[in-house]
């Protein structure tokens, strides 16, 4: 199959650029005590995760949801996984406990309620679930306050049957996208100081803290150099997006939304079939790949309205590629990825963990013996 034969809209991965991104990340961590735990939520695609793990320098995989973790186990991608997110809601702790019978599962916890739920489910299943106390390092989202509150929660975890304290996590998502490196470094140091000081307090209290997990694509080479951080949860680096491409990091844009020109109503305008049902715009409009002077004016449900240089020869039926501004939610809109090498489609990968897997858990769980 050729690129020109792909029905659109479709997601296209440049396999060579992706492989270079994977290699660069693996090489950065090869000789360091810190490793990478690639975030599966970025692409939700087992074929990509397999390549990340095969490249080395990985501790395992990171997931954002129980559904993603179920796919990781069902696909036998790794037996070392972290759900770097709070597990709360009907049936979720029980599903984690089932996974813990098959793999070394760790879960981020920031509340007594989530801890109780997890411990009860683990005891009922006769397993032990690993816990990382989720510390708020400045991102106004989840995480218990650093210092004493986190230490108290760590003590409670250590004293609770069914769970095992493995360490801490703290995601500095409020600083990963800062374009100015000096500012990004300074603010990352401040955020990670909160996490590392708390880790020191946990160890001083005689508690285990073998894992200190943090970091994203924008901070992999800042947080990843800090003494005491054991792993980086980066995900976007593998395929990238235009928001991260503004940063001084060595990863290439490796995926695009392929569309077809539906209309060229004026010389300086075209409409393609890659609207916001095919490409999210929460980080801004996508960019046009490979046409000098072209830009996206706006996306509507089914259309991308694109400004073109009037001399462009682009005609109805021609292809046009957009570089998304945000990888994770764009991938989540699609079922498959077309892996291409130049004009050749070399593989087609299912985006197995896309969508709300919670609503088809029983189907996925059959794969993990549930």
The residue among 127 and 333 lying less far from ligand PLP, judged by its C-beta, is 333
From the CB of 300, what's the least distance to ligand PLP, in Å? Answer: 27
At which residue do the structure tokens 């809209």 appear?
Answer: 9
Answer whether 57's CB lies under 8 Å from 43's CB. no
The stretch among 44-52, 197-205, 216-224, 334-342 that binds ligand PLP (CB under 6 A) is 216-224
Token pair in block for residue 305: 């309205």
Chain CA centroid to CA 344, Å: 27
Apex 277 CA angle, 235 and 362, nearest 5:
65
Residues comprising the chain, all counted: 370
* CB-CB contact of 198 with 151 (8 Å): yes
- Interface stretch with ligand PLP, choices 50-58, 227-235, 285-293, 306-314 (CB under 6 A): 227-235
9 binds ligand PLP (CB under 6 A): no
What minimum distance in Å lies between the beta carbon of 319 and ligand PLP?
Answer: 28
Q: Assess contact for 285 and 296: CB atoms under 8 A.
A: yes
Asked if 274 touches ligand PLP (CB under 6 A), the answer is no
* 87, 154, 209 from 110: Cα distances, Å: 10, 10, 16
Tokens 């570089």 found at: 323
Q: Which stretch binds ligand PLP (CB under 6 A): 25-33, 214-222, 250-258, 275-283?
A: 214-222
- Tell me the C-alpha distance between 226 and 69, whole Å: 28
* Contact call for residues 225 and 283 (beta carbons, < 8 A): no
- 39 part of the interface to ligand PLP, by CB under 6 A: yes
Indicate the residue among 219 and 256 with the shorter CB distance to ligand PLP. 219
Q: How far is CA 254 from CA 3, 164, 240, 277, 323, in A?
A: 15, 39, 6, 20, 9
Least distance (Å) between residue 318 CB and ligand PLP: 32
Here's the x/- map for ligand PLP, 152-191, by CB under 6 A: it reads as -------------------x-x--x---------------
Cα separation, 67 vs 295, whole angstroms: 37
- The answer to the question of residue 233 lying near ligand PLP (CB under 6 A) is yes
CA 132 to chain centre: 18
| Closest to ligand PLP by CB, 217 or 256 | 217
Work out whether 242 is an interface residue with ligand PLP (CB under 6 A).
no
Q: Check binding of 235 to ligand PLP (CB under 6 A).
A: yes
**Which residue of 47, 84, 87, 257 would you call a contact of ligand PLP, by CB under 6 A?**
84
Out of 52, 236, 242, 285, point to the residue binding ligand PLP (CB under 6 A).
236
Residue number with CB closer to ligand PLP (216 or 275): 216
Residues that bind ligand PLP in the complex, under the rule CB under 6 A: 39, 42, 84, 171, 173, 176, 216-218, 233-237
């Amino acid at each position: 199959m050729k690129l020109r034969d792909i029905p659109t809209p479709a997601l296209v991965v440049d396999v060579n650029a992706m492989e270079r991104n994977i290699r660069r990340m693996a090489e950065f961590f090869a000789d360091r005590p810190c490793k990478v735990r690639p975030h599966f939520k970025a692409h939700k695609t087992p074929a990509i995760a397999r390549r990340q793990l095969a490249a080395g320098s990985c501790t395992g995989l990171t997931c954002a949801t129980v559904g993603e973790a179920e796919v990781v186990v069902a696909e036998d991608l790794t037996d070392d996984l972290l759900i770097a997110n709070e597990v709360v809601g009907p049936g979720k702790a029980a599903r984690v406990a089932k996974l813990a019978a098959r793999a070394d599962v760790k879960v981020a916890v920031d509340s007594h309620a989530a801890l109780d739920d997890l411990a009860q489910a683990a005891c009922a299943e006769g397993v032990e679930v690993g816990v990382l106390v989720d510390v708020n390092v400045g991102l106004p989202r989840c995480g218990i306050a650093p210092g004493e509150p986190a230490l108290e929660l760590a003590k409670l975890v250590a004293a609770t049957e069914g769970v095992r304290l493995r360490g801490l996590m703290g995601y500095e998502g409020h600083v990963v996208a800062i374009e100015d490196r000096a500012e990004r470094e300074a603010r990352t140091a401040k955020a990670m100081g909160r996490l590392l000081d708390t880790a020191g307090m946990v160890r001083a209290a005689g508690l285990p803290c073998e894992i200190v997990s943090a970091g994203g694509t924008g901070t992999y080479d800042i947080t990843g150099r800090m003494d005491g951080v054991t792993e980086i949860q980066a995900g976007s680096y593998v395929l990238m997006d235009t928001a991260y491409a503004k940063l001084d990091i060595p990863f290439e844009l490796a995926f695009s939304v392929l569309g077809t020109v539906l209309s060229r109503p004026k010389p300086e305008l075209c409409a393609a079939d890659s609207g916001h049902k095919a490409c999210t715009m929460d980080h801004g409009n996508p960019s046009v790949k490979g046409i000098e002077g072209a830009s996206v004016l706006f996306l509507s449900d089914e259309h991308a309205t694109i400004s073109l240089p009037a001399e462009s020869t682009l005609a109805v039926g021609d292809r046009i590629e957009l570089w998304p501004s945000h990888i994770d939610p764009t991938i989540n809109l699609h079922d498959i990825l077309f892996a291409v090498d130049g004009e050749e489609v070399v593989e087609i990968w299912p985006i197995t963990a896309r969508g709300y897997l919670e609503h088809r858990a029983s189907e996925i769980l059959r794969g993990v013996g549930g």
